[in-house]
Amino acid sequence: MKGLLKGLGVRSAATPAADAPTGSGNPVDRLAMLDLMEEGDLAWFWATDAAGTLVYLSPNAQHKLPAGASVVGQPFLAMVDDLQDAIRDHTPRSLNFLFNAHSRFSDRPVGIMTARGKAFWALSGRPLTDEDGNFQGYRGSARDITGSYQEQHDSSRMAVVDALTGLANRNRMNLRLASMLASFRAARRSCALLTLNLDRFKQVNEAKGMLGGDDLLRQAAQRLQRIVPDSAEIGRLGADEFQILLPDCDDRGTLGDLALRIIQMLSQPYTLNDGRAVVGVSMGVSIAPYDGVEAEDLVKSASLALDAVKSSGRGQYRFYSNDLKDAVQQERQIEDDLREALAGNQLAMHYQPIVGAKDNKVVCFEALMRWDHPVRGMISPAKFIPIAEKSDLIGPLGEWALRRACQDAAKWPGRIRVAVNVSAAQFTSEAMPEMVSSALADSGLDPHLLELEMTESVFMGNLSAVEDVIAKLRQIGVRLALDDFGTGYSSLGSLRQITFDKIKIDRGFVRGCTEPGSVNAAIISAVVRLAQALDMDTTVEGVEAMDELEVVRDLGVKTVQGFIYSRAVSQADVLSKLAVGDFEYHPVGPAKYRAERRTLFRKVGVVHENHRYQAVLRNLSRSGALIEGLLDVPVGTDLVLDLGDGQLVVATVRRSHGASQGLEFETHLISDGADGLCTRHRASPYLIAAAGLPLQALPAGYQHRPEQRPGYATIPRFMQVDMLPASIRAA
């Protein structure tokens, strides 16, 4: 104790100071007081040598350690756990750093293993030096703070942690995002924000009760923690809404792959105490600084992308783009117009043939709804059906489609079936069987000629209710088909629970099935064999090229549907063909599949050398594009296509005729998660800010302007011609 007292500035009784006062303040009284503090566990004392080895620890403190533990003579820092509080964004400097720097510290919390388990002590220490200033070690005190520390730690943790899942809560995520964006701006770093909802979680909560819903949320949180990188932070914002913050990632290809893995993993069945449940996942993705430089803007961008997914059918992801800002208003307008269309007889049913793979004879027509808007023109069902599902329109819309399809099919000669798509919302309705019976009775159609197509989304939520409805439909005598097989939530589980008459293999497996290295053909083959074993028919959707048709025929698919036979046509066209006894559809299409090109008609920038031109983008695919607007561009010319919003694509001219050029991209575009294409990377707003403009998210339609390099002047190589119609030119 004497050396320790010296380090603390207290002289022992054996070496009294010449000027030491007498009475209550003498060294003897001080030593007695320190002994009382040690013995009463009010405080303990410790000391190290210059090498950090523990040379003294109060006896009462040593007695609290596990039996047989010998700490004196051991490195002091080895016996304590420096608490780096994960709740705080900025942790203090480590205890190891302070020791190496010979710094003082006070009430530093540490963890230590005692005979009764882990305890928490508050350490204080000061460096000891000799008369020459040489470091001699540490002298310090310790006290037990286990109770107060645990209480404070739990209180702090509850403020930032979701109690149900153990993930960060909304408050923590908001703080982390704001802190990260503030620090990343100075370092010109990026980060991605993924916001996701569990589709149809409300139905699970209602069917399984709150305990079942809570169990599903905990399992979903655990799955997320296994999927996302260690650098990411995951939070639950409330209900079924989760958020993922991923630093240093702006590659939309990587983010798209991660989003798909999350959707696939979280859409697998959940085992609950009273059975099984399935939910889907919808996700919106935004990236800083491209889609926002402030936390509020980035969150809003991700939310808009998520809303777009919900409006287009759920079960997908979507990157934010500037054109989503008007999506909410457009959705409201379409909903209002759809109500008028349903009341004003603007809707029609068209029919696409499903043909025997061997004989080309039609065996069924799929009923597809068409809406010819008086102002907007044709509106895709992919756009208005999800809007109807979110509103109260899906019920009357679905009933109208079913009744019209039955009425039309009753007029067809022969035993040709009609397939009608039924939404998940309809299957959860107890009125569904009665509606089907009524439609059949009113039309006079044989129940065996009605085929109801459902997607795997019907199995999300209350499974028992769906099973009851399907059992009643079986009694009526209608056929059941599982649509888009392989892309939904629970393919094999669906087949185990319910027997279907047909599996429809999604068009996504047809695309690329003829390309070298593709596994799509093997997947189709496996599904066909599975269907045969379960005594079910198979239909492949979306066949467009002769090489695709040859592959699916060889794999044993029973029926085929796609543009190679026919697009959906009106009832009048169907009757005209069938009335003369023509039941065959002969395949007509390109010899080989080519990447799908989206027909467009919009302005884009074209950069060549130091000059920028304006052209019209006519169509676009992952691998290339067709542009118009530049005269006589030689084949082999390298160009940069500016698609707007900071998207630059290096391309080579492969075909050129007059003012039209076919381009091949150096790097393929990727899916934006919906129906569009985008580049993996974009022009950084940091580069734009370096040119003297304020740092901000990419403005809508931003076009990159190449700067003239000093001493490097060229003349334009090509003549630009105006290919824009008056409507686009005015815009």
Q: What is the 3-state secondary structure (H, E, C) of 464-519?
A: HHHHHHHHHHHHHCCEEEEEEECCCCCHHHHHHHCCCCEEEECHHHHCCCCCCCCC
H helices of 58-101, in order, are 59-63, 95-100
- In angstroms, rounded to a whole number, what is the distance separating the alpha carbons of residues 551 and 564? 14
Model confidence at 717, in pLDDT bands (50, 70, 90)? confident
What pLDDT is recorded for position 156? Answer: 60
Instruction: Categorize the per-residue pLDDT at 18 as very low, low, confident or very high, splitting at 50, 70 and 90.
Output: very low
Give residue-wise pLDDT tens across range 622-647: 999 999 999 989 999 999 999 988 89
Give me the count of residues in the chain. Answer: 731
Q: Which helix (H) or strand (E) holds 194?
A: strand 191-199
Distance of CA 7 to the CA centre of its chain: 59
What pLDDT shows up at residue 10?
41
Q: What is the pLDDT at residue 511?
A: 80
Q: What is the residue type of 393?
A: L
Write out pLDDT tens, residues 573-624.
999 999 999 999 999 988 887 666 666 668 899 999 888 999 999 999 999 9
Beta-bridge partner residues of 123: 108, 142
**Predicted confidence (pLDDT) at residue 84 exceeds the cutoff of 80:** no
- Of the two residues 57 and 493, the one the predictor is more confident about is 57
Annotate 242-311 with DSSP letters as a single string.
EEEEEES---HHHHHHHHHHHHHHHTS-EEETTEEE--EEEEEEEEETTS-SSHHHHHHHHHHHHHHHHH
In the predicted structure, residue 374 carries a pLDDT above the cut 70: yes
Is a pLDDT exceeding 90 seen at residue 386?
A: no
Separation in Å, CA 41 to CA 4, 60, 143, 209, 621:
17, 7, 8, 51, 76
Question: Torsion angle, CA of 534/539/540/541, rounded to 10 degrees?
Answer: -130
Q: How far, in Å, CA of 106 to CA of 393, rounded? A: 67
- Using the CB atoms, write b or e for 275-291: b if 16+ within 10 Å: eebbbbbbbbbbbbbbb
Contact of 637 with 652, CB cutoff 8 Å: yes
Q: How confident is the model at residue 320 (pLDDT cuts 50, 70, 90)?
A: very high
Share of the chain above pLDDT 70, in %: 84
37-46 pLDDT, tens digit per residue, is 776 667 889 9
Q: Given a cut of 50, is residue 699 above it in pLDDT?
A: yes
Report domain 349-493+501-507+537-550+557-579's class: alpha beta
Residue 23 has pLDDT above 60, yes or no: no
Q: Which two tokens stand for residue 423?
A: 């939404």
Where exactly are the structural domains of the chain? 41-154, 162-320, 349-493+501-507+537-550+557-579, 598-730
Segment 238-266 mean pLDDT? 94
Q: Rounded distance, CA 454 to CA 481, Å?
A: 6
Burial track 26-63 (b if 16+ CB lie within 10 A, e otherwise): bbeebbeebeebbeeeebbbbbbbeebebbbbbeebee
Contact 197, 187 (CB under 8 A): no
* Burial (0-12, 13-18, 19+ Cβ within 10 Å), 163: exposed
Mean pLDDT confidence for 542-571: 93
Half-sphere exposure at residue 172, Cβ-oriented, CA atoms within 13 angstroms: 26
Range 400-407 average pLDDT: 96
Which residues are 652's β-sheet partners?
638, 664
Q: Measure the CA–CA gap between 416 and 275, rounded to whole angstroms.
A: 40
* 3-state SS string for 199-240: ECHHHHHHHHHHHHHHHHHHHHHHHHHHHCCCCCEEEEEECC
* Partners of 193 in the β-ladder: 245, 286
Q: SS3 helix, strand, coil % of the chain, rounded to 5?
A: 35, 25, 35
Which residues contact residue 607 at a Cβ distance below 8 angstroms, ignoring those fewer than 6 apart?
Answer: 613, 639, 640, 641, 642, 704, 706
CA-nearest of 668, 687, 672 to 323 is 672
Taking each helix axis as running N to C, give the angle between helix 201-227 and helix 252-266, from 0 to 180 degrees, rounded to the nearest 10: 130
Phi then psi for residue 124, to 5 deg, are -130, 145
Q: What is the pLDDT of residue 487?
A: 61
At residue 8, the pLDDT reads 46
pLDDT tens figures, 91-128: 457 788 888 889 999 888 888 888 888 888 888 999 99
Homologous superfamily, domain 41-154: PAS domain (3.30.450.20)
Q: Average per-residue pLDDT in the chain? A: 84
Report pLDDT for 86: 39
Task: Place 85 in a pLDDT band, splitting at 50, 70 and 90.
Answer: very low
φ/ψ region of 542 (left if φ > 0, alpha if ψ in -120 to 50, else beta) reads: left
Residue 116 has a CB neighbour count (10 Å cut-off) of 9
Domain 598-730 adopts which CATH fold?
A: Thrombin, subunit H (2.40.10)
Q: How confident is the model at residue 491 (pLDDT cuts 50, 70, 90)?
A: low
Question: 162-320: which CATH topology?
Answer: Alpha-Beta Plaits (3.30.70)
What's residue 382's pLDDT?
Answer: 81
* Strand 81-82 to 105-114 pairing: antiparallel
Query: Which residue type is seen at 44?
Result: W
pLDDT tens digits for range 410-433? 999 989 999 999 987 787 778 899
Q: Which residues contact 206 (CB under 8 A, 6 or more apart)?
A: 462
